[in-house]
A = this chain, B = another copy of it.
């Protein structure tokens, strides 16, 4: 079975030839700016990995992978406008480098090109691929709206289950759908497609728990950065939402007071509170629980174990990283 790295190389090799025209230049230069600033390509490669579970890699899996990568970039461009994020992958976001109107149109046009790629795939499974893609695409927008709604809510109004659902929609569903779309094209059984989707969904949420954990408890020598970025910005993370649930009344008041402070000085105090209420231990357990669910679903798939190995290795790598 081809590894993540091998499939990544194959993905890049064909993704560099793009469909886009050159004019209007202000629009297509901005699109090139977005796509040249490439990320880890996890989603499109997962689509290819889902495809090879049942047989050789198919041309249509690349079309779908391209659509997924374009969709992901569309979502990032619009999210950056919405959240007023100045930097993306170390470079000025599109709305900073160009302007907000062009950023909105850049996102829109990238999304429309995703459907251009989807339209190239064969009729036999096109309906199901598009259905899966559309559902995940809408979920991302719904998750983003939930995230916006939660930003303005006080901590005591956010239940952990609602937060988990928001993260699932905003980030995990697209990971899950990427795998499933590859498997649909590969002709996998419906049951196996659903197990693979569930694997992706739990993998995505476990990854996010891990991410939030590392921001607070990561080892500086491994992460290369001081902990607490999320704390400075009062970002609602798995840790913050759960910590509030775990706190006693006195700790809850203290946490609220700390959130109201505008300064970075609060990091040690928040971290101490996180330690006192043992939210770090909870996060490691929650990550294990989600990881276990993911792996159970992978195991339940009726394809040879050797075919699942690259996915197992990827999951282990992603969920045991220390940086």
Name A residues whose Cβ lies closer than 8 Å to a Cβ of B.
23-24, 26-27, 78, 81-83, 100-102, 104-105, 107-109, 111-113, 115-116, 119, 123, 126-127, 130-131, 134, 137-138, 141-142, 144-146, 148-149
Measured CA separation A111–B81 after assembly (Å): 18
**Structural contact, A141 and B101, CB atoms closer than 8 A:** no
**Structural contact, B145 and A102, CB atoms closer than 8 A:** yes
Partner of A149, one of B26, B113, B116: B26
Contacts of A101 in B (CB 8 A): 82-83, 148
**Structural contact, B109 and A138, CB atoms closer than 8 A:** yes
A–B pairs, 25, beta carbons within 8 Å: A23-B142, A24-B146, A26-B145, A26-B149, A78-B108, A81-B104, A82-B100, A82-B104, A102-B145, A104-B104, A105-B141, A105-B145, A105-B148, A107-B108, A108-B108, A109-B138, A109-B141, A111-B111, A112-B134, A112-B138, A112-B141, A115-B130, A119-B130, A123-B127, A126-B126
Q: Apart from A108-B111, A116-B134, A126-B126, what are 12 other A-B pairs with CB-CB below 8 Å? A: A24-B149, A27-B142, A81-B104, A82-B100, A105-B144, A108-B108, A109-B142, A112-B137, A112-B138, A112-B141, A123-B126, A123-B127
**Structural contact, B149 and A108, CB atoms closer than 8 A:** no
**Structural contact, A141 and B81, CB atoms closer than 8 A:** no
Measured CA separation A282–B145 after assembly (Å): 49
Contacts of A131 in B (CB 8 A): 119
Measured CA separation A123–B82 after assembly (Å): 37
Measured CA separation A105–B107 after assembly (Å): 11
CB proximity of A161 to chain B, nearest CB, Å: 14
**Structural contact, A104 and B78, CB atoms closer than 8 A:** yes
Looking at A78, A104, A116, A144, which has the most chain B CB atoms within 10 Å of its CB? Answer: A104
CB proximity of A110 to chain B, nearest CB, Å: 10
**Structural contact, B104 and A142, CB atoms closer than 8 A:** no
With CB as the reference atom, state the residue of chain B lying closest to A74. Answer: B108
CB proximity of A104 to chain B, nearest CB, Å: 6
CB proximity of A33 to chain B, nearest CB, Å: 14
